[in-house]
Amino acid sequence: MKFLKHIVIFSVVFLNLQLTYADHLVVKGRHGLSSSGDDFAARYEQTNKIVTANGKTHFAWLEADLDVKYRTYDHSLQSWETITKLGRAQDNHGGPALAIDPVGKLHTFFGPHGGLFEYFKSSTSWESSDWEGQASFGEVATYPSVAIDRNNTIHIAYRGKLDTESHKDSVPLKLIYQYKKEGQPWSQPQLVASPCLENTDELYKPVDEYAHYHHSLTISENGELHLLYDIYFKSKLMYVGPRARWIGYLKKSILDDNGTWNYSNEWKTLSGNAHPLPISPASPGDAFVKVVSTSSDLALTVSGVALDSRGRPWFTLREETFKAETCYEDPVTGYLTPDECDVTHRDYILYHHNGTSWEHWDLFQLLPSGLNNPKISNILPISIDANDNLYIAGVINSSVMVLYKNIHSPAPLFNTLVVAPEMVDRQYNHVNIERPTNQNKIGMPWLLFSFDSPLEGGGEDDRGPDNVEAAQLGY
């Protein structure tokens, strides 16, 4: 009965609005971008790697040799422009994040796995043939998520440290936020979230541990900056265990009622409460969307956040149950690692804030009968177009697939589209879907994904670089 209740709620939650309902989605084309991509070419799905604006769609990805490549599709000419190399990443964690500003300049951030961000901006509005290098920045930085507001201020969240911290004090690394007004330097780094429980004055007690946040930024039409993240933590002390336990969500108004842009340091929960930063496991309960017990074998990972026409957030959450006794202690670091743990169960949950509270649905229960208990690899990134059509993409049953429906539709179940079918001798890796972040309005999202290229004469585990493809959807 609880499941049926959730289905009914999902069906009627916004029926007072009537917009175009998603139906009969098709693949208009698959386009090869590279045959030398990295396994992580499209990984870190919380970060945009696709932007469509002014009749062109732009893609950024990571090559197997760690070059960061860029290519543009011209819709009017129905042709591809020349591939551009922007620079090199430190390793396969240094792939690009892409954004566009109000005057059509493209911005790309990439490079480090614990270093300085490389930052490039296109020289000409709406064009990507020439780029200008900007000053590097960041402290022990990795995993950029970027959004640019209508005042041409850049907002970035990343894993890193404060510039006032020593290397010892910086561990575990924190969730950091900065902004850059047009023509001005970057703001001072702001510490937003940390896994540490103890603090002395401004700096949290250092312990030699690992943290990750899977964070994503976006901006609503009414000038609210939204930040979704989880707190993932590996600890020798094992007071939290080797997995994410907390899902956090913050927003702040950067445009006031008088039309003035305001870049204060105050973040609030969706309930309107402001808590002292950084948010940590010791923060009040309403700082989090979901918390699981530290004795649980459950691991949580969020997708990127997308906003509907009312500025209300949607995201997917992967819940993995580990068999704790199958985890092992790394002989070098001493960490208990979940990387080789047996996963006994995976659930995928769809979350939405209705303006008052969070709602959630078991995504498996919203699929058509032909997709009972599907096998899903990795997380499921999400997007919403200008007509409130909701798209969820991923590797499902060994195929690249999109789940889609209009959020106002009375039909409770998602429609499905196979974008790239299962292949016998190779596998798909990560799927990135174009996601609106304020300047880039989504008419119909594109996908970016990669798949293994078996070497000639090679066995099942003898694989070459990845093929990288873009997929265009339509009705």
> What are the tens digits of pLDDT across the range 294-339?
667 788 899 999 999 999 999 999 998 876 666 655 555 554 555 5
Of 5 and 190, which is predicted with more confidence?
A: 190
Q: Which residues contact 144 (CB under 8 A, 6 or more apart)?
A: 47, 97, 109, 110, 117, 156, 157, 158
Give me the pLDDT at residue 206, please: 42
At CB < 8 A and 24+ separation, what contacts does 368-372 make? 368/413, 368/414, 368/415, 368/416, 370/416, 371/396, 371/397, 371/416
Confidence of residue 11 (pLDDT cuts 50, 70, 90): very low
Mean pLDDT (the chain, rounded) = 86
Nearest by Cα to 209 from 232, 175, 176: 232
In this prediction, residue 52 carries a pLDDT of 94
Compute the C-alpha angle 223/353/146, nearest 5°. 45
Q: What is the mean pLDDT of residues 227-235?
A: 86
Lowest mean pLDDT among 259-268, 321-330, 455-464: 455-464
**Whether the bond into 454 is cis, omega within 30 of 0:** no
| pLDDT beyond 80 at 205 | no
Q: How confident is the model at residue 462 (pLDDT cuts 50, 70, 90)?
A: very low
State residue 6's pLDDT score. Answer: 46
Lowest mean pLDDT among 48-52, 298-302, 313-317, 466-470: 298-302
Q: How confident is the model at residue 23 (pLDDT cuts 50, 70, 90)?
A: low
Q: What is the mean pLDDT of residues 139-165?
A: 93
What is the value of pTM for the model shown?
Answer: 0.91
pLDDT exceeds cutoff 70 at 411:
yes
How many percent of the chain have pLDDT more than 70? 82
Q: Between 324 and 112, where is the model more confident? A: 112
Mean pLDDT confidence for 224-250: 77
List the single range of 202-206, 269-273, 380-384 with lowest mean pLDDT.
202-206
Q: pLDDT category, 170, cuts 50, 70, 90?
A: low
The encoded tokens of residue 294 equal 């530290």
The pLDDT confidence band at residue 21, using thresholds 50, 70 and 90, is low
Please check the confidence at residue 280 and state whether its pLDDT lies above 60: yes
Q: What are phi and psi of 91, to 5 degrees?
A: -155, -165
Least confident of 15-19, 83-87, 152-156, 437-441: 15-19
Which tops the pLDDT comparison, 122 or 377? 122
Residue 167 is predicted with a pLDDT of 59
User: What percentage of the chain exceeds 90 in pLDDT?
Assistant: 68
Q: Calculate Rg over the CA atoms of the chain.
A: 21
pLDDT at residue 341, rounded to an integer: 65
Confidence of residue 3 (pLDDT cuts 50, 70, 90): very low
The answer to whether the peptide bond before residue 465 is cis (omega within 30 degrees of 0) is no
- Predicted confidence band at 19 (pLDDT cuts at 50, 70, 90)? very low
pLDDT at 298: 80
